[in-house]
Homo-oligomer: A and B are copies of this chain.
Amino acid sequence: MTRKILVLPGDGIGPEITAQASRVLAACQARGLDIQVEEAPVGGAAYDLEGSPLPESTLARARAADAVLLGAVGGPKWDKLEDISRRPEKGLLGLRKELGLFGNLRPALLYPQLAEASSLKPELVAGLDIMIVRELTGGIYFGQPRGIEERDGQRVGYNTYVYSEAEIERIGRVAFEMAQKRGKKLCSVDKANVLEVTMLWREVMERLSPEYPEVELSHMYVDNAAMQLVRAPKQFDVVVTGNMFGDILSDAAAMLTGSIGMLPSASLNASGQGMYEPCHGSAPDIAGQGVANPLATILSVAMMLRYSLGEGALAERIEAAVGQVLDDGLRTADIAAEGERTVSTAEMGDAVLAAL
């Protein structure tokens, strides 16, 4: 059965990095992987073309796909758009919501070849390998009511942080299962000493815990988690948290590695359909120069093969190829040490293809 993959290049460096990832997909195809790859616009690019960051046709094709590969969205060009609902970010949030991609996996993995790049002392991050499991379709990102309105003669802005037991349970299960496959330690992050919604979060995590007897569950307040990530990040294996805290902590964790240009992510729904994207953003400042690092996007293809296409062996080959090019000393500007020779986006793509 031919599997459908939809590539959404998006904005900024998105087109450049997805171009290299598409070459990797083509190479897999050439080796017998039965896929069909299409492209569609999203984000600011889609707004410019069709007046919407998530055109109906893009959404329909995403729904029909087995997996989506996204570059990145957003840029200063669209930051001043008066109509918030047409901003590039809304394309991304719309895809997550419409496809039901509640399970966001964000690994923070330190490549030994790039250990120098971390801003932390080497001994604190050597071997770092954290998996952040972030709830992605609920919480304060989507909670109702929300808005800005006039009350007693002045404007008031408000959003609602809300989770149901069912929403907490399903992300909890993703996290417990992930922990079971990894180091068997799960840290649930909340602010249960202040927020009722996270008291319920903690309670549901506790309730699930006996079903995963091998996994050691702990709880941490979000302020402490932010500290512990800086102080001693290797204490973490799998971290599970809501949409907003996950946004903050996964970026902090990614930055601990010093090479956010290396980190992929997966967003999964209940039927294994997924959207895959680099952790980094659209980097408008370097867009179009051919210097962006395509490795996070290429590694997102590996995650796609593993989680949505059931091709774990092929995923490992791609990951090994990336390891190989790092061993060979290839560096795009973002991961180069001072004075080191750098390669272009396309040269990095060439090297990965050669190593495959």
Complex partner residue of A164 from B156, B195, B224, B252, CB under 8 angstroms: B156
Total chain A interface residues with beta-carbon distance under 8 A = 61
A156 vs B144: C-alpha distance in the bound complex, in angstroms? 13
A123 vs B232: C-alpha distance in the bound complex, in angstroms? 19
* Chain A 133-166 per-residue mask, 1 if CB under 8 angstroms from chain B, else 0: 0000000110100111001001111111111111
Is A248 located at the chain interface by the 8 A CB criterion? yes
Decide: A230 near B248, CB < 8 A? Known: A89-B194, A158-B143, A165-B156: no
Decide: A222 near B198, CB < 8 A? Known: A124-B119, A157-B162, A160-B158: no
Closest Cβ of chain B to A193, distance in Å, is 5
Say whether A159 contacts B195, CB under 8 Å: yes
Give the number of times this chain occurs in the complex, counting copies.
2
Name the interface residues of A223-273: CB closer than 8 Å to any CB of B. 223-224, 226-227, 229-232, 244-245, 247-252, 254-256, 258, 260
Say whether B227 contacts A147, CB under 8 Å: no
Name the interface residues of A67-91: CB closer than 8 Å to any CB of B. 74, 84, 87, 89
The residue on B at minimum CB distance from A281 is B224
Decide: A227 near B159, CB < 8 A? Known: A93-B194, A154-B166, A193-B87: no
Is A287 located at the chain interface by the 8 A CB criterion? no
| Contacting residues, chain B, for A147 (C-beta < 8 A) | 196
Is A201 located at the chain interface by the 8 A CB criterion? yes
A248 vs B124: C-alpha distance in the bound complex, in angstroms? 21
Say whether B232 contacts A251, CB under 8 Å: no
A256 vs B251: C-alpha distance in the bound complex, in angstroms? 16
For the complex of A and B, the 8 pairs showing the least CB-CB separation, nearest first, are: A157-B200, A157-B197, A158-B162, A226-B252, A227-B255, A223-B251, A230-B255, A159-B161
A residues with a Cβ closer than 8 A to B are 74, 84, 87, 89, 93, 119-121, 124, 140-141, 143, 146-148, 151, 154-166, 191, 193-201, 222-224, 226-227, 229-232, 244-245, 247-252, 254-256, 258, 260
